[in-house]
Structure 1
Amino acid sequence: MPHADTLTVVHHDDTRTRFTDVRYQLHRDGIRIWSDEGEHHVTDVLMTHAYRQREATN
């Protein structure tokens, strides 16, 4: 499962939601995101931007 330091979700209405230090999984019906705040499932996704600044650790 990919890990991102910063993950930005761009919605169909051009609004953006930003998450930090997350794991995520893209699906046909959206994106599932796991963060310190819990699990999020976003279905209104136009595109995503994921950035990784540091080395991944297990």
Structure 2
Amino acid sequence: MPQADTLTVVHHDDTRTRFKDVRYELHRDGIRIWSDEGEHHVTDVLMTHAYRQRDATH
């Protein structure tokens, strides 16, 4: 499962939602995100930007 230090979800109306220190899965119907705040399922996704600045832990 991919990890990101910063994950930005760009929605169809060009708004953005940012998450920090997450794991995520891309699906046909959106993206599922796990963070310290819990699990999120976003279906209105135009694109995503994921940045990883440190080595991933297994």
Query: TM-score, structure 1 length as denominator?
Result: 0.98
Aligned length: 58
SS in 1 for 2:5: strand
Runs of 4+ aligned residues of structure 1 deviating over 6 Å after TM superposition are none
Aligned to 1:34: 34
Q: Which residue of 1 aligns with 2:12?
A: 12
The secondary structure found in structure 1 opposite 2:8 is strand
Q: CA RMSD in A?
A: 0.4
CA distance in structure 2 between the aligned counterparts of 1:14 and 1:37, rounded to whole angstroms: 24
Q: Distance in 2 between matches of 1:5 and 1:21?
A: 4
**Gapped regions of structure 1 (runs ≥ 5):** none
Name the SS of the counterpart of 2:14 in structure 1: coil
* Structure 2: distance between partners of 1:56 and 1:4: 9
For 2:24, the equivalent position in structure 1 comes to: 24
